Amino acid sequence: MKTFLRYLQSDFMKIKRSSVLWVHILVPIAGIVLFLFSYVIKEQAAGSMVESFLGAMASAFPIAIGLVCSMTAEQESDAGNFQGLLTGPSKLLPFFSMTVMLLLLGFGSSLLASFGFKAGLAIFLHEVPFGVNFYLHSAILIYAGNLFIYFFHLFLSLRFNKNVSIGVGIVESLISLLLLTGLGDEWWIFIPCSWALRLLKPFFQLGGVIPINPEINAAITLCCIETVLIFAFVIIWFTRWEGKKTEE
């Protein structure tokens, strides 16, 4: 455990002056400012604006994940062609450390976006449409629904290049929006990039509660199974990986 914590501390030190940390901070803040300004211009109901903001956040998450995973992998590549990941006494510990760092940053970013928007509504517009639990559960729901995407993009970023990871993230975000329509009614439970946005829909409709029905149960079950499977796949692949990546 001590060795892992040292790796984790080292990973956080690496990003202190990199763009990875700032992406997790500035992107949520930019989204908050944009939506608050839009709220003033359009004079929408506060509850509707919260739903729009969190929905936009969920749909944009795959792009952000693709970006930060590719930036992290590129940083490791530039710092000795992945030798920091591959030459330690334990090959998996550096990988787990990098993964946990990204997951912690992602969770922090989702909390910043959710509670930052709540604070913005309360301070600048004097609107408090939902309680603390609503924003907390929204952030957790969006984050948990994208765990699969994190592991998938770690693989893409290490195996291929940043263009592949970012490009796939853009496609995933577009698909998540498409599957929010009637086209995704029968298929969304199988497609990871749709989970967060699709689960938010009934969550909003019931004022902060996820309904218990066969479709939602199936989606949550598949989310857990597929996330565990992709994580297992990435671990097995990484143990056999030698630092080679496709640049084209």
pLDDT digits (tens, 9 = 90+) for 84-143: 777 767 778 889 999 999 999 999 999 999 999 999 999 988 888 888 999 999 999 999
Helix axes 46-78, 162-178, angle to 10 degrees: 160
pLDDT of 164 > 80? The answer is yes
- Could you give the C-alpha distances from 234 to 56, 77, 146, 228, in angstroms and in order? 28, 18, 16, 10
- C-beta of residue 69 within 8 angstroms of C-beta of residue 167: no
Q: What is the pLDDT of residue 120?
A: 92
pLDDT of 193 > 50? The answer is yes
Which tens digit of pLDDT belongs to each residue from 8-35?
A: 998 888 888 788 999 999 999 999 999 9
What proportion of the chain, given as a percentage, has pLDDT over 70?
97
Q: What is the pLDDT of residue 38?
A: 85
* Residues 6 or more apart whose Cβ sits within 8 Å of residue 20: 68, 71, 72, 75, 105
10 exposed, middle or buried (CB, 10 Å; 0-12, 13-18, 19+)?
A: middle
Amino acid at 18: S
Residue among 146, 72, 134, 74 at smallest CA distance from 109: 146
Mean pLDDT of the chain: 89
Instruction: Report pTM.
Output: 0.92
How far is Cα 28 from Cα 98, in angstroms, rounded to an integer?
Answer: 22
Q: What is the pLDDT of residue 17?
A: 77
Other beta carbons within 10 Å of 124: 12
As a whole number, mean pLDDT of residues 54-75 equals 93
* Residues 6 or more apart whose Cβ sits within 8 Å of residue 8: 97, 100, 101
Question: Which helix or strand (DSSP H or E) is residue 86 part of?
Answer: helix 83-86
Q: What is the pLDDT of residue 248?
A: 44
Q: What is the pLDDT of residue 244?
A: 65
Nearest-Å Rg of the Cα atoms of the chain is: 19
pLDDT of 185 > 50? The answer is yes
Least confident of 80-89, 136-145, 161-170, 183-192: 80-89
Q: What is the pLDDT of residue 3?
A: 83
Q: What is the pLDDT of residue 192?
A: 95
